[in-house]
A and B are shown apart, each in its own frame.
Chain A
Amino acid sequence: MTDIAATALSAPDMPSPPGTSAPAARHNGALGFGGWLSAIWLTVITTSTIVAPWLPIDDPRITDFAVPNNSPIGKAGHLLGTDQNGFDIFSRLIWGGRVSLIVAVGVLAIGMVVGGSIGLLAGFWRGKLEILLMAIVDIFLAFPALILLIAIVAFLGADLTNVVVGISLVSIPAFARIARATTLTFSQREFVLAARAAGATNRRIILKEILPNVLLPLLAFGLLVVGIAIVAEGSLAFLGLTSQETISWGGMINGGRPALQRENIAHTAMLPAFVMFLTVLAVNFLGDRFRAAFDVRDAVL
């Protein structure tokens, strides 16, 4: 994870007044021009990765022996050239998006369910449970996230499942903190007190009154984590800690590095870097709009 990620994960409920949102948006309705661009980009990426097996693109794991490795953009039927293995870069960019998508969805789901539950329970019941759960969360937050992640993946093996589990694990504490803080604010609200006065069970209050209110801010925070998760998966691939079977943007950047440094061949590393940047940017942008709309930080306060 990057330093920014570390910041985001370690201080998610930090006070921050409105106005942090992406600027261009204000002039163009809810999403704004940038928002629309982001949404379109993400839709294109998502759709193409899902339908990748049926797209008329080269097999991303077959070397084209007709052209040399690292052949340039547009050469011999390869729209974006070939990489150090003679694989088609365009095709690998699409297939690489698949891994990002899996990681994003996986981490978001696990983080929200596990982290959300912990935070919700801690925030609702308070007392000893809260102290215990939050102590655990504090310990995890003091643990260097990337090092923990590397250890998990290094020890358990580098397949995609472990990568998703590992990233989820290090993001759970942040989800828990957000959920707890949001729950705390809502448990004091009139409608919750009213429901309680009306004799609603705790279960009912949690499910019907609090959960719906916690969910959206949590999802908004989740989008921030999605960006971080994509970067984190790339970091692992970049360190050579994901499977060679996994086609990933981070892995592509890593694979293209020797050619960049030695032979001045830039496109093999730069193209995946650029695609990854655009994707993270789009996710962050949408998340930002989303958070502004739901005023997550204020709610947390």
Chain B
Amino acid sequence: MTRKQIQASWYRMVAVGVGLVLVAAACGSDGGSGADAGDDTTTTTATESMPVKGGSLVFGAESDVATLDVGAAAQPSDKVITLGLYDPLTTYEDGKVVPYLAESIESDGDDLATWTITLREGVVFHDDTPLNADAVVKHFLRLQDPVTACSCIDVVKIIESMETPDGPEGLTVVFHLATPSVAFPDALAGSSGYIESPTAVAKFGADYKNNPVGTGPFTLSEYVPGDRVVLAAFPKYWQKDDDGIQLPYLDKLTVKPIADAGQRLTALETGDIDIFQTAVSSDIAQAESRGFTAQKISGSSSTILLFNNAKPPFDDVRARQAVAYALNKDVINERVYDGVRVPSYSGFALDSAFYNESEGTPRYDLDKAKALVKELGGLKFSIVCIPTPEADQILQLTKQMGEAAGMEISLESQEQGAFVNRMFSKAGDYEAACFRSSHFIEPDAIRDDLTTGDAGNLVFYSNPEVDKLLDEARQTADFDARKAKYDLVQQITGEDVPLITTLYDLFGNVYNADVVGPPPPGEANSLGAIKPGFLYRAG
């Protein structure tokens, strides 16, 4: 999990409707896990249907779009909109970062602190402003401005200065980073890499949020908060598909927030929507039993239990280990998710090249848990969560499992505002808390979560050795050398248990195959967030 992800996850939780809704999939944030490309993806229909141009589709989103501004779109359902409006500078293909809106991105040889981006030629924003170096520079300056309140501020603050050797009208930008980072291109694959029109920002000011202008395949045609976002094809879009068909395929894409997952299924049946995403296992099964197609995606996010490592009782590693030993993830999987999920014992996605299930990571062992609790002379703590049916089920089980090991656990439910308040207050006003996080392809993503004193380090974990390893790994270009460092990090944190990853999420793109062609692979790390430019009507 990374700080970006944490944000994404908190935002997701915040954005979810009140108690009515399951916290659906984790955030599709920046950075990447190639989950959608992995073997977890199953498509139950023949995929050999040819994309056609034209028509319109309706997408059922989990919640209303949080914001249409760049840099904050965290949820997969938001991504359908933001990936329609914007293009990221880089993206993931087969687990590797490749240029996207950029023509190329290269470091200055071994100097990982200097990166040069060359932009594609002839790309224009929806308002006809040309994409050039000036737009890119203004974009990052804007994200760095505290007033923008971009959740990405820690990601972009690594940029110390920018140069435009060919002038503002040119296509080249040279980035000078504060610290060398091999992960820089990865940072541009997410929403911090979405470039917006500087003309529109100057024109709309604070209201830009509701008047977004990007280079993406769609323009914003209508936005009614809580009801719908309507996107219309941008005729001057720069991209064509492999057969030379001008993208996007669709003329119009409507995104409708329907908070209740069961209701989304009903809406699919009545034809009110054509496709939706869900994290509720039983809904995926229900949809399939009613003849719909589900594209399943797993492995790149998980439910987690955070410990406040700075405060009693969890400043003692034995207390954290005791909980980890007491937790039977298989039982949670069985009782809450009909057994379709996969227990998680690593901070990385299952199919990440850096995935390493450390031996030291505690697995269910009631005797060890009991022994540790005894050694501690009892263990009493509270878990705070945003109340959702899913969280309630997990919590009730966690409480029983802990109590079986002799712990005393109280459950606190806290509505979103108060939860956020407690989590993000300086000292972390909690003992243990429910969260959800994503796991990305780029391992540097976990740096902020575990680095001493980082704003993203919500668990207040501090281990100088881990700090050092994470810093070094970021500056190591060689894969094997890098992996060795991350393996070590996983081994140390496996034993330290700063937090517990519970189960990998599983969610699905559920759609009516008569109407919708198979959804294109999403932006690699965004948990199957669909690239709307490649969506098409079937037949």
Report which A residues bind B (CB closer than 8 A): 61-63, 65, 69, 84-87, 154-155, 157-158, 238-245, 254-255, 257-258, 261-263
Contact = CB atoms under 8 A, between A and B. Distances in A.
Contact of A262 (B282, B388, B410): B282
- Name A's interface SS: loop
22 contacts: A63-B397, A63-B400, A65-B335, A69-B335, A84-B393, A85-B392, A85-B397, A86-B335, A154-B415, A157-B412, A158-B412, A158-B414, A158-B415, A240-B387, A241-B19, A241-B415, A243-B411, A244-B396, A244-B412, A245-B411, A257-B389, A262-B265
A147 to B, nearest CB: 13
A15 B335 CA distance: 55
Contact of A85 (B19, B393, B413): B393
Given A155-B418, A243-B412, A63 B396 contact: yes
B400 A62 contact: yes
Contact of A240 (B260, B261, B396, B413): B413
Contacts of A69: 335
Contact of A242 (B335, B396, B413, B418): B413
Contacts of B22: 258
Contacts of B396: 61, 63, 85, 87, 244
B366 to A, nearest CB: 14
* 3 closest A-B pairs by CB: A240-B19, A240-B387, A244-B411
A262 B390 CA distance: 14
B439 interface: no
Nearest to B266: A261
Contacts of A258: 22, 262, 389
A61 B400 contact: yes
Contact of A63 (B261, B262, B335): B335
Interface string B379-396: 000000101110011011
B413 A158 contact: yes
A84 B389 contact: yes
Contacts of A245: 410-412
Nearest to A245: B411
Interface in B238-280: 260-263, 265
Contact of B19 (A63, A155, A239): A239
- Name B's interface SS: helix
Contacts of B389: 84, 255, 257-258
A154 B418 contact: yes
Nearest to B395: A244
A63 B396 CA distance: 8
Contacts of A61: 396, 399-400
A297 B298 CA distance: 64
A262 B411 contact: no
Contact of A261 (B18, B19, B260, B412): B260
Contacts of B417: 154
Interface string B95-111: 00000000000000000
Given A243-B412, A243-B413, A244-B412, 11 more contacts: A63-B396, A63-B397, A84-B389, A158-B412, A240-B20, A240-B415, A255-B389, A258-B389, A262-B261, A262-B262, A262-B265
Contacts of B392: 85, 244, 255
Contact of B413 (A84, A155, A244, A255): A244
A242 B18 CA distance: 12
A123 B117 CA distance: 79
Interface centre among B331, B387, B410 (most CB of A within 10 A): B387
Contacts of A239: 18-19
B283 interface: yes
Category for how many chain B residues contact A: 20 to 34
Nearest to A63: B400
A262 B286 contact: yes
A244 B419 CA distance: 14
A23 B261 CA distance: 45
Contacts of B400: 61-63
A20 B520 CA distance: 65
Interface string B410-431: 1111110110000000000000
A136 to B, nearest CB: 28
A263 B261 CA distance: 12
A292 B117 CA distance: 83
Interface string B72-87: 0000000000000000
A157 B393 contact: no
Contacts of A238: 19
A157 B384 CA distance: 11
Nearest to A244: B411
A261 B21 CA distance: 12
Contacts of A262: 261-262, 265, 282-283, 286
A65 B283 CA distance: 23
B495 to A, nearest CB: 30
A243 to B, nearest CB: 6
B274 to A, nearest CB: 21
A242 B411 CA distance: 11
Given A84-B393, A240-B19, A240-B413, A263 B282 contact: yes
Interface centre among A245, A255, A257, A261 (most CB of B within 10 A): A245
Contacts of B283: 262
B303 to A, nearest CB: 16
A62 B402 CA distance: 12
Nearest to B417: A154
A263 B289 CA distance: 12
Nearest to A86: B335
A1 B438 CA distance: 39
Contacts of B414: 157-158
B411 A240 contact: no
Contacts of A63: 335, 396-397, 400
Contacts of B262: 258, 261-262
Contacts of A242: 413
Interface in B320-365: 331, 335
Nearest to B283: A262
Interface in B114-134: none
Interface in B277-333: 282-283, 286, 331
A185 to B, nearest CB: 44
A240 B416 CA distance: 11
Nearest to B286: A262
Interface centre among A63, A243, A244, A263 (most CB of B within 10 A): A244
A212 B260 CA distance: 53
A238 B417 CA distance: 18
A244 to B, nearest CB: 4
Contact of A254 (B19, B331, B385, B395): B19
A261 B22 CA distance: 13
Interface in B467-483: none
A272 B417 CA distance: 29
A86 B399 CA distance: 14
Nearest to A260: B262
Nearest to B404: A62
B466 to A, nearest CB: 33
A234 B8 CA distance: 32
A162 to B, nearest CB: 12
